[in-house]
Amino acid sequence: MTLQLRNISLAYPDGADTRTILDHVDLDIVAGEAVAVAGQSGSGKSTLLAIAGLLLSPDDGTVVIAGKPATGLSTKASTSIRRNHIGIIYQASNLFPALTCREQLELVAHLDGRLDHTMRKRATQLLCQVGLEQRIDARPAQLSGGERQRVGIARALMNQPELLLADEPTASLDPERGAALMTMLLGQASAHATALLIVSHTLEQLPSNVRRLDLDNGRLSPSTSVLIGR
State the residues that interact with ligand ADP by CB under 6 A. Answer: 12, 21, 39, 41-47
Query: In whole angstroms, what is the distance from residue 130 CA to residue 138 CA?
Result: 15
Please state the closest distance from residue 103 (CB atom) to Mg ion, in A.
27
Nearer to ligand ADP, 87 or 218 (CB): 218
Contact partner at residue 4 from Mg ion, ligand ADP, none, CB < 5 to 8 Å by partner kind: none
Nearer to ligand ADP, 49 or 130 (CB): 49
Query: Amino acid identity, residue 229?
Result: G
Please state the closest distance from residue 91 (CB atom) to Mg ion, in A.
5
- The one among 46, 149, 159, 200 contacting Mg ion by CB under 5 A: 46
Query: Amino acid identity, residue 98?
Result: A
Contact partner at residue 21 from ligand ADP, Mg ion, none, CB < 5 to 8 Å by partner kind: ligand ADP
Q: Rounded to whole angstroms, what are the CA distances from 64 to 2, 5, 45, 117, 181?
A: 8, 6, 18, 34, 28
Query: In whole angstroms, what is the distance from residue 95 CA to residue 185 CA?
Result: 20
Edge-first strand listing for the sheet containing 195-200:
86-89, 163-167, 195-200, 34-38, 211-216, 219-222
Please state the closest distance from residue 197 (CB atom) to Mg ion, in A.
13
Q: Is 170 in the site for Mg ion (CB under 5 A)?
A: no
Q: Which stretch binds Mg ion (CB under 5 A): 26-34, 86-94, 127-135, 183-191?
A: 86-94
Beta strands 68-69 and 34-38: pairing type? unpaired
Please state the closest distance from residue 187 (CB atom) to Mg ion, in A.
24
Of the candidates 130, 211, 200, the one whose C-alpha atom is nearest the C-alpha of residue 165 is: 200
18-37 binders of Mg ion (CB under 5 A): none
